[in-house]
Structures are given as C-alpha cells and as structure tokens.
Structure 1
Amino acid sequence: MDETSPIFVISVAAELAGMHPQTLRQYDRLGLVSPSRTAGKSRRYSMRDVVQLREIAQLSSEGVSLEGIRRVLGLEDEVSALRTRVRELEAMLADEMLNRPGRRVFAAGSAGDIVTIKAGTRVRRENALVVWRPLDR
C-alpha cells in the first residue's frame, strides 16, 4: 500500500481531514479533490487525497477562494510533474555519461540551436568586423 491507494470511505476521509462529508462531495463536484470510485460508484479516498483536503482547508482558512485554491493545486501538480521529468532526464544523462564517456560534446550553434561536435574538436568562430558609414548627402 502507498499514499495513492484508495482505502478510505468518505466518512473516514472527512474525519481525517477535519471536514464534513458534504464538503468532500462539494470539492469532488468542483474538481478540487477527485477520489477513486468503486464498482458501485462510492468514493474511496487515498492518504494523498486526505493531505490535499487538509491543504485546501488551510488555504481556505487563509482567505483563498475556491478558484484560487484550484489554481494553486494545479500549479503544485504541474511542479511535481516537472520535478519528476527533471529526475528522469538527469538519470538518462547520467546513464549516457557512464556508457559513453567523452564521446559527445554539445555546443550552441550560431542560431542558438544545439550542435553535437566530436570530442576534442574546437568550434570555429567567425570574427568579422562590420563598419557602417552613413551615405553622404
């Protein structure tokens, strides 16, 4: 079992969150917390849902509107997803560096794009001087 396992019925989740069950139903309708459903369509809340309900209660007590709470929760979910993606990319990069040490080097191209070059090769840079003189009239 982990924090996302749907194990709590609505009355238990409401008690753990310090709320009335009707409040949980309203939050479900509004999409703030979306519990899992059983085959009989009854709600099942996870520990993660309960923590989110507590966070909603805290934000609400601080005067944040329900729409503001929805926005905050959405941004927190987005940050969490981005952190997960960064960890995945870091792991992929670490694997690549272990499997092919010194074989690939990246540089920025003249248009800002990423260019792969051979290890030990220097990028040739153009050093040009442009002189501008206004036309004599």
Structure 2
Amino acid sequence: MGYCCSKFCTSGSNQTNTEAHVLSKNVHEITSLQSWEEKLSEASRDGKIVVANFSATWCQPCRDIAPTYSELADKYPHLLFLKVDVDELAELSNSWDINATPTFYFLKEGKEVDKFVGANKSDLQKKTATVASLADQADK
C-alpha cells in the first residue's frame, strides 16, 4: 500500500510496531470500516474535528512521528485522533487516496478540512494547532 515518505523507510521489514506503545488515550485505533464509521459519526454528533493518521507498521517515519501524534492527542482533547493501518484497512485507505505514509487527514463532519503528508513534526504541530483553533472558534 503506497510508499513511505522517507528514503530511510524499512519497507517490507518485520520490525515490531513501536507506535503501539506510545498511543494516547485520545488516539483510537481503527480496525474495521465499522469502527471508522462509528468514530466519524461520534465526532459529527459531538462537533469534533477528526485527525486521521494513515500509517504503516513498516514505515520508519510513521514510527518516528507517532510520539508527536500522541502528544498532540493529549494536548487537544477536543479533537478526535484516529490511527489507521493502511495495510490492515487497504479498502478504506484506497478510498481516501492514500499514496504515501504517513498521511494525516483533518475531517469535519466526515469531510476533508485539511491534509498533511509526511513526518515533519513541526508542520504537523502547526497544522493541528490551526485546525484546533478553527474548532475553538466554532465553539464560540
């Protein structure tokens, strides 16, 4: 599924997924199309913006940015953070046109608000802060 956003990617390796050990309680692993739909519905009902991380266990940049993603989930509890393994949910990933990992989608009411591809921690922090401020303004 797609390619990794780094020349240092370990595509095809059998390394363990260290990402699982750094998940925040606000990062929800999506393991089925049903759980994806449930979380999007929950976010829409609660007026939350979704931050969806499409990643792969074999992708080193995905593993590198996982702690930052988890920190952002803790910092912005009014956003809903989801993690999708592109290999486990290839059909879902294809429907969102995932061609590289990691890819982050920012969704409101199931629709794309913004998108970020790559593992630049600073850029992800800035995008998330911008989207979070939009959510804050909508709450006022």
Structure number with greater CO (CA < 8 Å, separation at least 6) is: 2
Bigger fraction of residues in helix: 1
Q: Structure 2 length as normaliser, TM-score?
A: 0.31
Structure with greater strand share of residues: 2
